[in-house]
Structure 1
Amino acid sequence: MSASDLMGSAEPLETAFDAALVDLDGVAYRGPHAIPSAPPALEATREAGMKVVFVTNNASREPGTVADHLSELGIPTTEDEVLTAAQAVALLMREELAPGATVYVVGGAGLRTAVTAAGFVIVDSADDKPDAVVQGFHPDVSWKELAEASYAISAGARFFASNKDLTIPNERGFAPGNGSLVNVVVTATGVTPPGAGKPEPAMFRLAAEQAGSRNPIVVGDRLDTDLKGARAAGYPGLQVLTGVDGIVEAILAPPAHRPAFLGRDLSALHIAHPAPSFVDGAWQVGAARVQAADGVLQVLVDSPGADGLDTARAACAAAWAAADAGEAITVEGVPHMAVLSDHG
């Protein structure tokens, strides 16, 4: 029987770790509104001495603009508490391109500022024969810009992407993200760019450096970006249920995407997290007990615990151990899992 990847903490996460590297969409806010629990949770976390850096794959806005937006939502933030994918991709480009290289930019002001600050020269057309194309999300990206990018790349320009998120959560649902728009150019050119944003580990390592952190925790809602990136960087990750992925997705997650901790929202930073243990053929978290038998999860003792998630944590531990042993796991027929799949 393999050990669970789920971690425990005898003390609240806000004191067990020195910094929280926090995603924005689906964690701090959703669409134009703050997630209701986020402002008080982050205020209490900072009062406990934990540093916070917001790490976002949104490359359209400048760090100062992001900080101002968060402050308007009741989450006071300074520019040095924000790290964007635009900043990360500019650093990646500096490793690959000569100083003063020409770049065609598809994206917003944040990306243009980061590219200029990195020492590159922005051009306006494929006719300028740019050395590179960089693409980041902006809601006003047009067919013309995608076409210009395609012409330049087909003529030999290097291609970079700030991030490859396929979707963006907002108050109306899920909209196409930068990855979807990047794929339009990939289809036209046959060239796939490297991405600098999450889940690349550099984003989190840069954020930890920015916070002066030696023991950070990553907080996110998406297993394939936030939590995968946390594991790639070697940092524990807290999955919150206020955005894209829920408990069912966590139960079925491959090893590279698994969170180290589970929480309903950012208030999970204020609590201790009981460690899973394997006892008498079942995985136990607190008083909750779940086993995997013939590939099906069975809740033996449904004990949700103080925040309602101990049964879910035990289910993850049981499912991951069984999957790692070669079993195909299903949550069908376990009604409790359907309840837990509600995102927050």
Structure 2
Amino acid sequence: MKAYKGYLIDLDGTMYQGEQEIDGAPQFIEYLKSQHIPHLFVTNNSTKEPEEVVKKLHKMGVSATGEEVITSALATAEFISDQHPGATVFMIGGSGLFQALTEKGLSIKDNENVDYVVIGLDEAVTYEKLAIATLAVRKGAKFISTNKDVAIPKERGFMPGNGAITSVVSVSTGVDPVFVGKPEPIIMHKAMETIGLDKHDVAMIGDLYDTDIMSGINIGIDTIHVQTGVTTIEELEQKEIQPTYTFQDLNQLITELQQG
């Protein structure tokens, strides 16, 4: 297979499964480091700060630094800051989103008189938060959502994701948001800018076809599907556009790369 100069890598289902390690993940990152191959972890999770993501990766035996993590919160903050430096924002979301927005000089407000409404996953969301967001969008605030994932896997099963929360405001106002996270190009363009390589030299690795693989396809880079998470090989075969490669796990990918 082709040897790439850099990789963009999904987290849940690729590096770990919930709170469980995935065999081959730590070994793959060690292989990349031994070959001095740059890589970034690209996640739709907007609730965690990069340092928190790194802490979890370390717990799973995966070597990482905060500079190697691109979250949908970071991509959202940069997207807004580029459009409107110093904008006022009403946000629904966690500490990761709050930190990303404020570090870009954006001003967080608790009322509907704002330039932007930003929605990220908030497991403590209230009717009042949704009401303020709705009023702000109706007043003309630009509507941004960190990602469109409608469900997220939890110990109890699949729970409402950020896309489900976002839909409340969207349905109420009739306004569709700009989505930032995978499979949309915004987060991927930030990742490509950060890794600093030509798109022909980079591959996206992930388990979930509709987000990870489509995110690579949507910006024209090669994709590597791993069968360690959500999308099975049987489901993959039904897709019209296939990933560039699919492997049982990252151990198999290491073997292929070593064989050249």
Both structures adopt the same fold (TM-score exceeding 0.5): yes
Go from structure 1 to structure 2 and tell me whether the alpha carbon gap of 1:268 and 1:234 turns closer, same or farther (over 3 Å shift).
Answer: farther
**Superposition deviation, residue 219 in structure 1:** 0.5
Q: Would you say 1:213 and 2:197 are equivalent positions?
A: yes
Q: Would you say 1:84 and 2:54 are equivalent positions?
A: no
Q: Would you say 1:181 and 2:181 are equivalent positions?
A: no
Matching residue within 168, 186, 189 for 1:202: 186
5 Å-filtered alignment, 1:212-291, equals: 212-214=196-198, 215-255=201-241, 258-272=242-256
Paired positions, count: 255
5 Å-filtered alignment, 1:118-129, equals: 118-126=104-112, 129=113
Go from structure 1 to structure 2 and tell me whether the alpha carbon gap of 1:170 and 1:265 turns closer, same or farther (over 3 Å shift).
Answer: farther
3-state SS, counterpart of residue 271 of structure 1: helix
- Show structure 1 runs of 5+ residues with no match: 1-8, 274-344
- Show structure 2 runs of 5+ residues with no match: none
Q: What is the aligned partner in structure 1 of residue 95 from structure 2? A: 109
TM-score (norm: length of structure 1): 0.69
5 Å-filtered alignment, 1:57-72, equals: 57-72=44-59
Whether the 8 Å CA contact 1:81–1:211 is kept in 2: the answer is: no
Whether the 8 Å CA contact 2:23–2:251 is kept in 1: the answer is: no
Q: Would you say 1:152 and 2:149 are equivalent positions?
A: no
Q: What is the aligned partner in structure 1 of residue 37 from structure 2? A: 50
3-state SS, counterpart of residue 116 of structure 1: helix
Q: What is the aligned partner in structure 2 of residue 94 from structure 1? A: 81
Q: What is the aligned partner in structure 2 of residue 279 from structure 1? A: none
Whether the 8 Å CA contact 1:240–1:263 is kept in 2: the answer is: yes
Q: What is the aligned partner in structure 1 of residue 145 from structure 2? A: 161
- Percent identity over paired residues: 38
Matches of 1:52 and 1:173 in 2, distance apart? Answer: 31
CA RMSD for the aligned pairs?
1.9
3-state SS, counterpart of residue 178 of structure 2: coil
Whether the 8 Å CA contact 1:26–1:169 is kept in 2: the answer is: no
Whether the 8 Å CA contact 2:86–2:105 is kept in 1: the answer is: yes
Matches of 1:167 and 1:44 in 2, distance apart? Answer: 33
Matches of 1:210 and 1:56 in 2, distance apart? Answer: 14
1:248-270 Cα distance to aligned partner (Å, 9 max, x none): 22111133xx3111012222331
**Superposition deviation, residue 172 in structure 1:** 4.7
TM-score (norm: length of structure 2): 0.90
Match for 1:148: what amino acid?
I
Matches of 1:38 and 1:160 in 2, distance apart? Answer: 32
4+ aligned runs moved over 4 Å, structure 1: none
Match for 1:111: what amino acid?
L
Matches of 1:264 and 1:35 in 2, distance apart? Answer: 12
